[in-house]
Amino acid sequence: MVASLTKEAPAFRLNQICYSPAILRFAMAAHADLSISALQGVLEDYGLGRIARIDEATNGGPEIHRLFETSKGKYLLRVAQAVREYDVKRELELLGFLSKHSFPCPWPLQDRNGRFYREHERRFVSIYRWSPGQSFSVEGLNDAQLESTGRALANLHVIGRAYKKGIDSRHNFDQVSDLYWRLRPRLPSFFSKISRLLDEEFDYLHRHLEQRLPKGVIHGDLFADRLLFRGDRLTSILAFESATRGKFIADLATAVNALCFVGEKYWLARFRSLMLGYESVRALSLAEWDAFPNELRYSSLRLLVTGLQTWLNCSGVSDGKRDFREFLERLRVLRREKDGGMDELLMAMATGYDYRKYQKVKGMDRNLVVVSGSNK
């Protein structure tokens, strides 16, 4: 049965379309310029049989997805939008590496010619075996699921350390700053207060953002609509098109901003569950705990700026996926300009920092005892 994604998961929709070939052809063409006959031609190279059913699947990302069923099972068709072939290859190489290390992520099927993707009507098409699982809205995630997500994110960071192939740097401060200063002249006059806030924030983070922290492969966009669960167990993390090489704490900060901010405030219980899962696999260093508050601010700033870019490119209309105003509210909370759970979050971070420091000192004392004992 197709994953049950109804009211609990408005961010990931499965809209069943009727089986009429004419309507199927229209629905495919309206979103991806792929007719049902063209899709069937693609499937013949995979030996998947005739299409029995097709659904629309959207997960908040820039790609187009179609969930379809044949006599041989359920599959996901992905159409990559407006990307270079190099980016497609880079993402597939990373997914292949992660899959070999049993990381829960999608992996494309090979066609009869050994290809993992193909170009079709100036877009790149790939097909994946459907991963059973259910997506939830951020409000619908429970503590056990958040803990499972934290554990998976830490596993990604640990596994990714061994990934030696190059990945284009994305999301770093200089790139986001350059984007903002290109966008700033396009902002309407009534954005003057927002512009001043962003100017101040870029100036502050330029002086205080720490760069010498553990780095490796990061997801870069771990929102609720990228997660699939079976019960409390995470079965797959989707959408690795934003993956890059960067600071682990920056990736974790984005996850906190995405998963722990609900109803205009940060929830301490959600933060603790996410961190419990993460630190069960990879403990943060003292420097990472110290940098955490500023990384939260930078993550919100980055998402705000990229949201503004989308808003401007769409002539002032939100795309309904990543509204820049959501991250403006987070940033105001993080700057302590309004209430929203930041005091509790800072206390939890300070406690985590002190706990790690205590453990480090305790370990040093234990080593001294061993050394002194050996000298007797």
Asked whether residue 5 is assigned to any structural domain, the reply reads no
Asked whether residue 270 is assigned to any structural domain, the reply reads yes
- pLDDT higher than 70, residue 359: no
SS3 track for the chain: CCCCCCCCCCCCEEEECCCCHHHHHHHHHHHHCCCHHHHHHHHHCCCCCCEEEEEEEECCCCCEEEEEEECCEEEEEEEECCCCHHHHHHHHHHHHHHHHCCCCCCCECCCCCCCCCEEECCEEEEEEECCCCECCCHHHCCHHHHHHHHHHHHHHHHHHCCCCCCCCCCCCHHHHHHHHHHHHHHCCHHHHHHHHHHHHHHHHHHHHCCCCCCEEEECCCCCHHHEEEECCEEEEECCCCCCEEEEHHHHHHHHHHHHCEECCEECHHHHHHHHHHHHCCCCCCHHHHHHHHHHHHHHHHHHHHHHHHHHHHCCCCCCCCCCHHHHHHHHHHHCCCCCCCHHHHHHHHHHHHHHHHHHHHHHHHHHHHHHHHHCC
Asked whether residue 1 is assigned to any structural domain, the reply reads no
Asked whether residue 265 is assigned to any structural domain, the reply reads yes
- Same domain, residue pair 100 and 185: no
The reported pLDDT for the residue numbered 22 is 33
- Same domain, residue pair 118 and 144: no
| Structure confidence by residue, pLDDT tens digits, 215-234 | 999 999 999 999 999 999 99
- Same domain, residue pair 308 and 330: yes
What single string gives the DSSP state of each residue in 100-125? HTT-S---BPP-TTS-S-EEETTEEE
| Structure confidence by residue, pLDDT tens digits, 163-180 | 988 777 788 999 999 999
Lowest mean pLDDT among 4-8, 60-64, 86-90, 280-284: 4-8
Last residue of a domain, one of 91, 107, 129: 129
- Same domain, residue pair 123 and 219: no
Range of the domain at 118: 13-129
Lowest mean pLDDT among 21-30, 73-82, 239-248: 21-30
- Same domain, residue pair 71 and 146: no
- Same domain, residue pair 125 and 154: no
Residue 63 belongs to domain with CATH number: 3.30.200.20
- Same domain, residue pair 106 and 185: no
Higher-confidence residue of 100 and 317: namely: 100
Residue 334 belongs to domain with CATH number: 3.90.1200.10
- Same domain, residue pair 205 and 86: no
pLDDT, average across residues 300-319 = 84
Domains of the chain: total: 2
- Same domain, residue pair 265 and 342: yes
Q: pLDDT confidence of 56, banded at 50, 70, 90?
A: low
Asked whether residue 375 is assigned to any structural domain, the reply reads no
The reported pLDDT for the residue numbered 147 is 98
Last residue of a domain, one of 73, 101, 129: 129
- Same domain, residue pair 170 and 297: yes
- Same domain, residue pair 220 and 79: no
- pLDDT higher than 60, residue 287: yes
The reported pLDDT for the residue numbered 323 is 87
Asked whether residue 178 is assigned to any structural domain, the reply reads yes
- pLDDT higher than 70, residue 28: no
Bridge partners, residue 216, by sequence: 246
- Same domain, residue pair 258 and 146: yes
The reported pLDDT for the residue numbered 29 is 40
Asked whether residue 370 is assigned to any structural domain, the reply reads no
| Structure confidence by residue, pLDDT tens digits, 39-52 | 667 777 888 877 77
| Structure confidence by residue, pLDDT tens digits, 257-286 | 999 999 999 999 999 999 999 999 999 999
- pLDDT higher than 50, residue 376: no
Asked whether residue 335 is assigned to any structural domain, the reply reads yes
Last residue of a domain, one of 129, 158, 182: 129
